[in-house]
Amino acid sequence: MAYLNAHYLKLKAGYLFPEIARRVKAFAEAHPEAASRIIRCGIGDVTEPLPPACIEALHRAVDEMARRETFRGYGPEQGYEFLRSAIAQHDFRNRGLEVADDEVFVSDGSKCDCGNILDILGHQNTIAIPDPVYPVYVDTNVMAGHTGPADDSGAYAGLRYLPCTPDNYFVPEPPREPVDVVYLCSPNNPTGAVATRAQLQAWVDYALRHQSLILFDAAYEAYIADPALPHSIYEIPGARECAIEFRSFSKNGGFTGVRCAYTVVPKTLLAMDDHGQRRPLHPLWNRRMATKFNGVSYIVQRAAEALYTPEGQAQVRQLIDHYMGNARILREALQACGLTVYGGQNAPYLWVKTPPGWSSWQAFDAILEKINVVVTPGSGFGAQGEGYFRLSSFNSRANAEEAARRFATMKW
């Protein structure tokens, strides 16, 4: 008899974005006349073509793969040296932050890394998760057996939820009691909030005091426009002793379909073994990658490397400016409707308070039915997300402008 992983049975029906896709498909089938009018502002998926510097690098790399002398088979599981070094140099050392090339692990996505990191952490950890939050943090802990069942609001027993509300500007404060592992995401998905240096310092101080681990998701750091806001947890003194950082090329280089990201595991980061001895996590992650992963393809790593060239950097800037232009258009349109809008200034997501009496899913249904725009219901990100919806600014300019026009016609 083969047994299944019963923890999966505790998960709610579907992962949020496939569930939204299912509902949109059902709507389109029921209303074929509206199907071609649908504008998707739900999932944060990029729409603009890859930067030309990446395209050129991809072509060159494909040509290399076509010749015996330059063909490559398996690459290093941790990533090619050329990319690890470009990342460490440009994203960290050029900004005065200490990260060694071999502390960078190249992967096929931050979603995967955020889930896979649990492989090297103990099952006895108490885990704190902001609410609302990117659903992957919660669901991967459920799958790993770190929780009990969910209650009616969708909150899982055993997780320590950190409410993010307008009162704390959607940035969670460290709890009074110690937790072993905490997830932080800044700029935040879904609220668009960005933690200040002081807020991150409070978290690092907390983590050092309690020997906790911070899992810091910085997938949207390229969207930070305010020079006072930190892009990396390693800008905070002490973070090398308590934090792992996840970064992605999905939202800066437009790699959602290309797949490339990385995780920084400092060699100075320790966690407790079963005998009370503190040991480095770096060799464990290295071992995990070498055993369960065969690396990102050579051609994709060459494309990611091209993002760090001067042309690549300028092209990334254009992409970010494009999406942030959409964010401004959508933000102004929603505000003009009298809605309260958060985020969208240093992040590509707008977090919108639903009109009084509307639940998140009611807002989702009404906006889809009345103006054929897809948003993400805030309750899909956690109990505290009820009463909000998220709008993604990843879209063409024409779609953002059309969505803005349609919002203006909506009877709220």
Kindly list the residues in this chain that would bind ligand MLT in the complex (CB under 6 A): 43-45, 111, 134, 189
Under a CB-based contact definition with an 8 Å cutoff, are residues 129 and 184 in contact?
Answer: no
Pick between residue 80 and residue 381 the one whose CB is nearest to ligand MLT: 381
Pick between residue 179 and residue 391 the one whose CB is nearest to ligand MLT: 391
* Run of H or E including 113: helix 110-116
Pick between residue 111 and residue 240 the one whose CB is nearest to ligand MLT: 111
Residue 210 amino acid letter: H
Pick between residue 105 and residue 134 the one whose CB is nearest to ligand MLT: 134
How near is the Cβ of 57 to ligand MLT at its closest, in Å? Answer: 23
How near is the Cβ of 381 to ligand MLT at its closest, in Å? Answer: 8
How near is the Cβ of 329 to ligand MLT at its closest, in Å? Answer: 19
For residues 88 and 92, what is the distance between their CA atoms, to the nearest angstrom?
Answer: 5
**E strands in 123-252:** 127-131, 159-163, 181-185, 213-217, 243-248
Pick between residue 212 and residue 250 the one whose CB is nearest to ligand MLT: 250
How near is the Cβ of 42 to ligand MLT at its closest, in Å? Answer: 7
Pick between residue 43 and residue 143 the one whose CB is nearest to ligand MLT: 43
- For residue 92, what is the DSSP state? I
Please give the residue whose beta carbon sits closest to ligand MLT in the complex: 44
Pick between residue 43 and residue 208 the one whose CB is nearest to ligand MLT: 43
Pick between residue 189 and residue 326 the one whose CB is nearest to ligand MLT: 189
The upper half-sphere exposure of residue 11, i.e. CA atoms within 13 Å in the direction of its Cβ, equals 20
Q: CA-based diameter of the chain, in Å? A: 66
Give the gyration radius of the chain's Cα atoms: 21
Per DSSP, the three-state class of 100 is coil
CB under 8 A, 24+ apart: contacts of 353-358: 353/387, 353/388, 354/378, 354/387, 354/388, 354/389, 355/412, 358/387
How near is the Cβ of 45 to ligand MLT at its closest, in Å? Answer: 6
**Of 156, 209, 131, 169, the residue nearest 384 (C-alpha):** 131
Per DSSP, the three-state class of 128 is strand
Please list the residues that pair with 261 across neighbouring strands. 107, 248
Pick between residue 44 and residue 266 the one whose CB is nearest to ligand MLT: 44
How near is the Cβ of 257 to ligand MLT at its closest, in Å? Answer: 12
Under a CB-based contact definition with an 8 Å cutoff, are residues 137 and 114 in contact?
Answer: yes
How near is the Cβ of 275 to ligand MLT at its closest, in Å? Answer: 37
* Run of H or E including 353: strand 349-353
H helices of 172-309, in order, are 197-210, 282-292, 298-306
Pick between residue 136 and residue 207 the one whose CB is nearest to ligand MLT: 136
How near is the Cβ of 334 to ligand MLT at its closest, in Å? Answer: 18
Per DSSP, the three-state class of 326 is helix
How near is the Cβ of 189 to ligand MLT at its closest, in Å? Answer: 5
The upper half-sphere exposure of residue 246, i.e. CA atoms within 13 Å in the direction of its Cβ, equals 27
How near is the Cβ of 249 to ligand MLT at its closest, in Å? Answer: 12
